[in-house]
């Protein structure tokens, strides 16, 4: 969609291919990941990359139908960097040799030492002797291809770093993208510099290009957007609003499962501050009515997801002539990954989203964040003037407080939960801990317990407090608050929120727990 120098990552199925892309984007280099089995010489020519990286992968070059790059890749005349399996592919195809090996597999930390004259890939390396790298390979290169030289070795990888400088082909056995290779980022920096990248991928430049692209896609037509107030949908809406102004209408579906004051904040910020056309679809009575008496977590999620779509459609139909639907789809959602495991993965929780809506409503999609990672979306949000406190907010799930209220949802429980959650978050902010935590929230438990308050007996709800650190929400550690913090917070909640007489802290990591309680 937008124009900038492009680096192509050919994915051979490594678990960490996305990390390569992250390292490159941090260097302001635009890159795309394409699975090896979806790329042929024609696509290669169309992409016209300025450089190519072969990712790692779990296969062996000697497997029948082993993953290989398109045939013409070595004739493009662009620099190529092969990583782990990517190195083996390079050697195999260019006349070297790869062996599966007893006793030569290496998993984990290793130390590479310099073994030849300077290689431009290694600027900044070996200044203090050996460099720590992360190895994860079964096979290994046993003979390098003609034209290559060895520039670094480790005890189990005599060809840890190899290069053919005249053709600008570089190949390493280890993974420079993981943080266990502390100077890995430097290696990528050297590679892109040699390939002539100028670092033209900035959110400032992206914003202008994306606005131009939205204008040319949409023309004079109207766009509708489901705005939740989360970072992705907010940035999507603001970017499109900058591009086409009043041709955009946002629908904020208020399902009555939001946090204290949240609906007012979203409405006042977007409608008043940004002057966006915003429909506040207050359908809390409908949602809460349909959830009455429902306690099964999956049923709750399905009811909320289904109603959300119905409500959105109802309001969208009131906007005459809308032809486009805006969605905050991010790059990790569109990357096709190579799967070697086969078979469907187990559904732990059915996530709430608006997938399927465009076909149902006959709308075309506008997805201006499709090329971005989450932290790039945040940077773009800053470019668009969103306040830092808003951009740094913890994630909040689509089904909202419903999944923080295990069992049956009632208006009374939601009210207690909203107040308690507000006190808890206030505590975290006051202690300066908000930005250290990935996500923190209170949940109201489906039980009452006995307590003593003043001279009387109480029989009130118990609350669970949750706080986790995480990088992507896939795994998480519980946050180690001090006892003093927990004690103070518990006291404040019980004093300030009527209906709670007991507070627990959830010290389960993920796995085995999930972040949300349902």
- Catalytic residue set: 84, 175, 177
Q: Any idea of the CA torsion for 239, 270, 307, 313, to the nearest 10 degrees?
A: -60
For the beta carbon of residue 46, count every other beta carbon within 10 angstroms.
8
Please give the structure tokens belonging to residue 231. Answer: 């970072």
User: Sign of the C-alpha dihedral, residues 444, 445, 448, 451?
Assistant: negative
- The residue among 201 and 308 lying less far from ligand XMP, judged by its C-beta, is 308
- The residue among 81 and 309 lying less far from ligand XMP, judged by its C-beta, is 309
For the beta carbon of residue 189, count every other beta carbon within 10 angstroms.
20
- The residue among 221 and 370 lying less far from ligand XMP, judged by its C-beta, is 370
If binding is defined by CB under 6 A, does position 382 make contact with ligand XMP? Answer: no
Where in 474-513 is the site for ligand XMP (CB under 6 A)? 510
Which of these segments, 63-71, 390-398, 418-426, 443-451, binds ligand XMP (CB under 6 A)? 390-398
CA gap 325, 249 in Å, rounded: 10
3-class secondary-structure state, position 253: strand
If binding is defined by CB under 6 A, does position 418 make contact with ligand XMP? Answer: no
If binding is defined by CB under 6 A, does position 516 make contact with ligand XMP? Answer: yes
If binding is defined by CB under 6 A, does position 448 make contact with ligand XMP? Answer: no
Q: Return phi, psi of residue 390, to 5°.
A: -75, -45
Q: How far is the CB of 410 from ligand XMP (least distance, A)?
A: 21
CA gap 57, 83 in Å, rounded: 9
CA gap 511, 477 in Å, rounded: 9
If binding is defined by CB under 6 A, does position 152 make contact with ligand XMP? Answer: no
Count of residues near ligand XMP by CB under 6 A: 13
- The residue among 212 and 288 lying less far from ligand XMP, judged by its C-beta, is 288
- The residue among 352 and 413 lying less far from ligand XMP, judged by its C-beta, is 352
Please select the residue that binds ligand XMP; options are 352, 378, 404, 502, rule is CB under 6 A: 352
Q: How far is the CB of 152 from ligand XMP (least distance, A)?
A: 39
If binding is defined by CB under 6 A, does position 109 make contact with ligand XMP? Answer: no
- The residue among 439 and 489 lying less far from ligand XMP, judged by its C-beta, is 439
If binding is defined by CB under 6 A, does position 302 make contact with ligand XMP? Answer: no
Please select the residue that binds ligand XMP; options are 3, 273, 314, 351, rule is CB under 6 A: 351
If binding is defined by CB under 6 A, does position 349 make contact with ligand XMP? Answer: yes
CA gap 114, 111 in Å, rounded: 10
Q: Contact, 106 vs 135, CB < 8 A?
A: yes
Which of these segments, 160-168, 207-215, 396-404, 451-459, binds ligand XMP (CB under 6 A)? 396-404
If binding is defined by CB under 6 A, does position 332 make contact with ligand XMP? Answer: no
Which of these segments, 190-198, 286-294, 345-353, 457-465, binds ligand XMP (CB under 6 A)? 345-353
Beta-sheet strands, E only, within 262-413: 277-282, 322-326, 364-366
If binding is defined by CB under 6 A, does position 400 make contact with ligand XMP? Answer: no
3-state SS, one letter per residue, for 96-133? CEEEECCCCCEEEEEEEEECCCCCHHHCCCCCCCCEEE
CA gap 392, 408 in Å, rounded: 31
The strands making up 277-282's β-sheet, listed across from edge to edge, are 277-282, 248-254, 222-226, 322-326, 364-366
Contacts of 15 (CB under 8 A, 6+ apart): none
If binding is defined by CB under 6 A, does position 397 make contact with ligand XMP? Answer: yes
Please give the structure tokens belonging to residue 119. Answer: 């290689």
If binding is defined by CB under 6 A, does position 514 make contact with ligand XMP? Answer: yes
Does residue 511 have a cis bond before it (omega within 30 degrees)?
Answer: yes
Which of these segments, 95-103, 266-274, 322-330, 392-400, binds ligand XMP (CB under 6 A)? 392-400
- The residue among 262 and 488 lying less far from ligand XMP, judged by its C-beta, is 262
If binding is defined by CB under 6 A, does position 229 make contact with ligand XMP? Answer: no
CA gap 346, 349 in Å, rounded: 9
Please give the structure tokens belonging to residue 61. Answer: 């070059």
If binding is defined by CB under 6 A, does position 398 make contact with ligand XMP? Answer: yes
If binding is defined by CB under 6 A, does position 439 make contact with ligand XMP? Answer: yes
Q: Contact, 60 vs 150, CB < 8 A?
A: no
- The residue among 88 and 236 lying less far from ligand XMP, judged by its C-beta, is 236
If binding is defined by CB under 6 A, does position 395 make contact with ligand XMP? Answer: yes
Please give the structure tokens belonging to residue 489. Answer: 């917070």
If binding is defined by CB under 6 A, does position 399 make contact with ligand XMP? Answer: yes
Q: How far is the CB of 259 from ligand XMP (least distance, A)?
A: 13
Q: Return phi, psi of residue 484, to 5°.
A: -60, -45
Q: How far is the CB of 297 from ligand XMP (least distance, A)?
A: 10
- The residue among 189 and 254 lying less far from ligand XMP, judged by its C-beta, is 254
- The residue among 118 and 375 lying less far from ligand XMP, judged by its C-beta, is 375
If binding is defined by CB under 6 A, does position 233 make contact with ligand XMP? Answer: no
If binding is defined by CB under 6 A, does position 112 make contact with ligand XMP? Answer: no
Q: How far is the CB of 276 from ligand XMP (least distance, A)?
A: 22
If binding is defined by CB under 6 A, does position 473 make contact with ligand XMP? Answer: yes
Q: In sequence order, what DSSP letters do the residues of 199-242 get, joined into one string?
A: ----HHHHHHHHHHHHHHHHTT-EEEEE--SSHHHHHHHHHHHH
3-class secondary-structure state, position 31: strand
If binding is defined by CB under 6 A, does position 374 make contact with ligand XMP? Answer: no
Place of tokens 């086409």: 244
DSSP state of 475: S
Which residues of this chain interact with ligand XMP, rule CB under 6 A? 349, 351-352, 395, 397-399, 439, 473, 510, 514-516
């Amino acid at each position: 969609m937008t124009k900038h120098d492009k680096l192509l990552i050919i994915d051979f199925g490594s678990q960490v291919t996305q990390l390569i892309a992250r390292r490159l984007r941090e260097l302001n280099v635009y890159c795309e990941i394409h699975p090896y089995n979806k790329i042929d010489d024609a696509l290669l020519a169309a992409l016209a990359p300025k450089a190519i990286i072969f990712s790692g992968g779990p296969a062996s070059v000697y497997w029948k139908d082993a993953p290989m790059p398109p045939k013409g890749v070595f004739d493009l005349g662009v620099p190529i960097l092969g990583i782990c399996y990517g190195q083996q592919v390079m050697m195999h195809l260019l006349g070297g040799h790869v062996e599966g090996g007893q006793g030569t597999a290496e998993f984990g930390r290793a130390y590479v030492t310099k073994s030849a004259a300077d290689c431009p890939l290694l600027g900044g390396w070996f200044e203090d002797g050996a460099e720590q790298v992360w190895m994860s390979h079964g096979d290994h290169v046993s003979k390098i291809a003609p034209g290559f030289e060895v520039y670094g070795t480790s005890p189990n990888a005599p060809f840890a770093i190899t290069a053919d400088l005249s053709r600008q082909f570089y190949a390493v056995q280890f993974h420079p993208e993981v943080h266990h290779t502390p100077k890995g980022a430097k290696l990528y920096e050297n590679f892109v510099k040699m390939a002539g990248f100028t670092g033209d991928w900035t959110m400032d430049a992206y914003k202008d290009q994306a606005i131009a692209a939205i204008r040319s896609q949409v023309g004079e037509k109207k766009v509708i957007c489901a705005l939740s107030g989360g970072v992705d949908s907010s940035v999507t809406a603001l970017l499109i609003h900058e591009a086409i102004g009043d041709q955009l209408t946002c629908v904020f579906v208020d399902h009555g499962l939001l946090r204290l004051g949240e609906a007012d904040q979203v409405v006042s910020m977007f409608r008043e501050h940004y002057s966006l056309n915003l429909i506040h679809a207050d359908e809390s009575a409908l949602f809460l009515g349909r959830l009455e008496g429902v306690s099964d977590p999956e049923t709750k999620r399905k009811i909320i997801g289904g109603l959300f779509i119905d409500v959105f459609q109802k309001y969208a139909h009131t906007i005459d002539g809308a032809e486009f639907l805006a969605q905050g789809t991010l790059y990790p959602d569109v990357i096709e990954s190579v799967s070697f495991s086969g078979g469907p993965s187990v559904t732990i929780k059915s996530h709430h989203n608006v997938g399927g809506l465009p076909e149902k409503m006959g709308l075309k999609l506008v997805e201006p964040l499709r090329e971005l990672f989450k932290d790039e979306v945040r940077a773009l949000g800053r470019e668009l003037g969103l306040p830092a406190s808003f951009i740094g907010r913890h994630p909040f799930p689509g089904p909202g407080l419903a999944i923080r209220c295990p069992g049956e949802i009632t208006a009374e429980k939601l009210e207690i939960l909203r107040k308690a959650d507000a006190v808890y978050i206030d505590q975290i902010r006051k202690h300066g801990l908000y930005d250290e935590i990935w996500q923190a929230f209170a949940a109201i438990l489906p039980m009452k317990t006995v307590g003593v308050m003043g001279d009387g007996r109480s029989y009130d709800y118990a609350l669970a407090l949750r706080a986790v650190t995480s990088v992507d929400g896939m795994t998480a550690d519980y946050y180690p608050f001090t006892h003093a913090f927990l004690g103070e917070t518990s006291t404040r909640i019980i004093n300030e929120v009527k209906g709670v007489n007991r507070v627990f802290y959830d010290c389960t990591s993920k796995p085995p727990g999930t972040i949300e309680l349902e």
